Structure 1
Amino acid sequence: MPEINTSRLRELLARTVGPAPWYWKTFPKLHAASGQPFSWIHRGEQGPLAYLVTLVLEQEPNKARLALNTYCRPFPMPSNQVGVWCPEGRSIRLTCFDTEKLAAFDLAEIAGWFKQSSERIYAATEPLAEFEVPHALEAGMHKVEVPADFRAVDELVVPTSYPAKTDDDPAFALYVFYPQAGLVEVLPQKWFTASQYEVGRQWITRAARDSESHRIFGECFGVGSFLLQEDGCRLERWMDKSGT
């Protein structure tokens, strides 16, 4: 296999979507059918809207169309749709909205309560479709019921906490969704264990697949960026190490 270009992977990682609110600048650019651009706005670190990220039309920045709480990740979809995935109790929730139908709402509707709640996503409009998958599935490939609206998505790599029975068991996994095929592959990260890392303070924030080598790469907060082996479960090497 030809040498994997680490510099190229670093560039790809910089554009890979991470969780709200910390990675909000990586969120996908969206446009309405009319061509009007949407913007993602981080509502700051103080006040009743602190740490929330909202989707607005650029010309109407005070009229939110969608609000995302901590750990949400939006992802692009065909046409005028936007998908969002987030942890939901002991499951991973995937939902999608038609941006043309997202009704505007006043920020006062979410001020104060939303940030403190267990709700991850707020919109005045019902989603087009959604589904959930438990985050305790065994390693390997599983069939899942995927709504038709998601079928145009080829692949989505989802990092999630994973139930570990001992300190030597994987504490994180990558759920690789193949919505088009109605499948999800569970890849426990065998290198990420409580005996080796500070689980909770250190965690996998984002990951993606390199289209050339087909290897998965990603970022572990407090440790650095990594490249996985071909099995997607074992650490090949660190591309960069960060301070803890």
Structure 2
Amino acid sequence: MAAESGKIDPMHQFQIQEIGDPLFSIAGHPIALTNSAVWMLAAAVALWAFMLLGMKRQVIPTRGQMLVENFTGFITKLVDDNIGHGGRKYVPYIFSLFMFILFANLLGLLPLGLVGLHPFTFTSHFTVTGVLAIMSFAIVLIVGFWKHGIKFFSLFIPHGTPLPMVLVIFPIELVSFLFRPFSLGLRLFVAMIAGHILLKVLAGFVINAANASPLWGGVVGVPSFVLMIGVSALEVLVAGIQAYVFALLTSLYIHDAEHLH
């Protein structure tokens, strides 16, 4: 959005705004529908519509059915490779996690501003990515203690560690383990917010250069616009990579809970 003196505020796009009046209140705090919630719902609806393409199960699959089957096969292979034995039961969760993040990232890149609708990338908020990370971490803890009980703590003591070193290595490994949800959520949050800030800054160069004069529009505006196209293409790639990394790390963490090594 434009601020004073014709400047572009690159952080305005991340502002959570209420839509309409509060729906209800909890302990005196009003709960309202926000732009973040609307785009989460949009991502969920888009994922639901995408999955409908694969529900036909025709002998000769349609393009939509093939696309769904390819994504399903991709996640199934990821789970088999990184969780191993007993990992197939986690495919629905890993698949849903991957696709939800992917749709969230891509929806935030759509050029809907051209028609007056400003997309909101809710994965650029740590509160969202952090909750997704905590969900995955909770599964790891539940599986680990359910299957192994107190033996789950052996995950923090590498096999063959001398007894005197256990007192040093155990707390280090435990702290490292507890930081996993933080780093998992932070990685996605930083990647998405950085790319969108860069795009907004470049957009500011284009707009202000064009408003200044035709000369500055050609010298600064045109190269900035070309760079915006390249960064936008890169952001599409980053959107897919970050969804993959989130799913991959979740699979690796579940592997540790399943097999303790």
TM range (shorter): under 0.3
TM-score by length of 2: 0.22
Structure ranking higher in helix proportion:
2
> What is the TM-score with the length of structure 1 in the denominator?
0.23
Report which of the two has the higher share of strand.
1
Tell me which structure has the larger Cα radius of gyration.
2
